Amino acid sequence: MKKIFTLLLLGIVMFTVSCKNENSQTATHKNVIEHSDPLPSWNEGKTKEAILTYVNDVTNSESPNFIPIKDRIAVFDNDGNLWSEQPAYFQLFFAIDRVKEMAAAHPEWKTQQPFKAVLENDMTELAKQGEHGIIKLVMATHADITTDEFDADVKNWIATAKHPTKNVAFNQLVYQPMLELLQYLRANDFKTYVVSGGGVDFMRAFVTEIYGIPEEQILGSRIKTEFNYNNGNPVIKRLPELDFIDDKEGKPLNIQKIIGKKPVFSSGNSDGDLQMMQWTASNKLKSFMLYVHHTDSIREWAYDKNSHIGKLDKGLDEANEKGWTVINMKTDWKVIYPFELNAN
């Protein structure tokens, strides 16, 4: 009951914020209120200024940098860029919770890795299982069910699971300043996309509501699928085999496959986003590359070059070298999460 209350409250806060923003946008467009602020959770400074200057420039039909609406494609990584990704990608917590749910039907998991580690809450051992172990976990928990069943599983999980240290629902750990940025770009006729290494159907089950981005504008990693006519009640079954990893070179490749044109605005937080940044930077239209640098060990987490998750090394060097915009989370963001708005 308390959870429902909290969720409702969050809903109200987000709704209020969203309405405020929409009003701000209208005001900006009409020049009625000169000082309305489309990015209220961003501190004043060169990062915020760079974003506003870019958007004002490329949406001004008299600017030499004007971008036609059809080409205003903005792509955003998800983990560590629109929501947190520590102490592990949130999708891994889903897989872990699913293993525990499914364990009764799989007695063999008590002695098989990586399942044994999960069931014994032995995260050190799980980490030792490496990428191979993670893929095994994903296949066991994300496949051999229909797309509808998987969607229901994820929706059920996101409504009930809690982050291990923050102790709030995972979907509360989205970045308020980024929600404002998405809204600001859409108010200026940008089409906003998620382009994530995470599973596309995992994200689709809940992020459309949080980010205001429809299912068809979410790109991610995929497993193979199979169509089954099923006596007139067709289903699509998820198979335990990787189809596409939407990371590094995979990001521009997937963007080209699915969107079919180069973005003008790209936002990410790790080296896995670098090729997407490079692809965007090569647009003949004026483009904007935005890196989130995790610098806030108190309100969020601080990590970059040496992190296993969300490693930002070459990307940061290239951003500095090429003058891309880098968000210093600690100093650029007034609040991190929407629920902090309530506390202020």
Give the binding site for a copy of itself (CB under 8 A).
70, 73, 147, 191, 200-201, 204, 214-216, 218, 222, 225-227, 229, 232-234, 236, 243, 249, 252-253, 256-261, 275, 278-279, 282
Q: Roughly how many angstroms between the first and final C-alpha of the chain, as a whole number?
A: 25
Please list, in sequence order, all residues whose beta carbon lies within 8 angstroms of the beta carbon of residue 313, skipping any fewer than 6 positions away: 271, 304, 305
Tell me whether residue 120 or residue 215 sits nearer to a copy of itself (CB atom).
Answer: 215
Q: What are phi and psi of 226, to 5 degrees?
A: -140, 135
Residue 277 C-beta: closest distance to a copy of itself, Å: 10
Q: How far is the CB of 232 from a copy of itself (least distance, A)?
A: 8
Residues 14 and 338: beta-carbon distance below 8 Å: yes
Find the length of the chain. Answer: 344
In whole angstroms, the minimum distance from the beta carbon of 226 to a copy of itself comes to 8
Q: Rounded CA gap, 147 and 97, in Å?
A: 19
Shortest CB 333 distance to a copy of itself, Å: 30
Give the dihedral sign, CA 48/211/147/163: positive
Count of other CB atoms within 10 angstroms of residue 276: 28
**Nearest approach, Cβ of residue 33 and a copy of itself (Å):** 30
Closest contact distance (angstroms) between CB of 239 and a copy of itself is: 11
What is the Cα–Cα distance from 328 to 331, expressed in whole angstroms?
6
CA atoms within 13 A on the CB side of 41: 27
CB of 281 to a copy of itself, least distance (A): 8
Q: What is the DSSP letter of 174?
A: B
> 306-320 burial string, b = 16+ CB within 10 Å, else e?
ebebbbbeebbebbe
Which pair of tokens denotes residue 177? Answer: 């300043």
Nearer to a copy of itself, 50 or 236 (CB): 236
Whether the Cβ atoms of residue 147 and residue 201 lie closer than 8 Å to each other: yes
Element (H, E) at 172: none
Cβ closer to a copy of itself: 237 or 330? Answer: 237
Residue (88 or 207) nearer to a copy of itself, CB: 207
CA distances from 318 to 75, 217, 253 (A): 19, 27, 20
| Residue among 83 and 279 whose Cβ is closer to a copy of itself | 279
Which C-beta is closer to a copy of itself: that of 57 or that of 249? 249
Closer residue to a copy of itself in complex, CB, 256/297: 256
The answer to whether the peptide bond before residue 240 is cis (omega within 30 degrees of 0) is no
Q: How far is the CB of 181 from a copy of itself (least distance, A)?
A: 21
Task: Considering the complex, state which of residue 109 and residue 265 has its C-beta at the smaller distance from a copy of itself.
Answer: 265
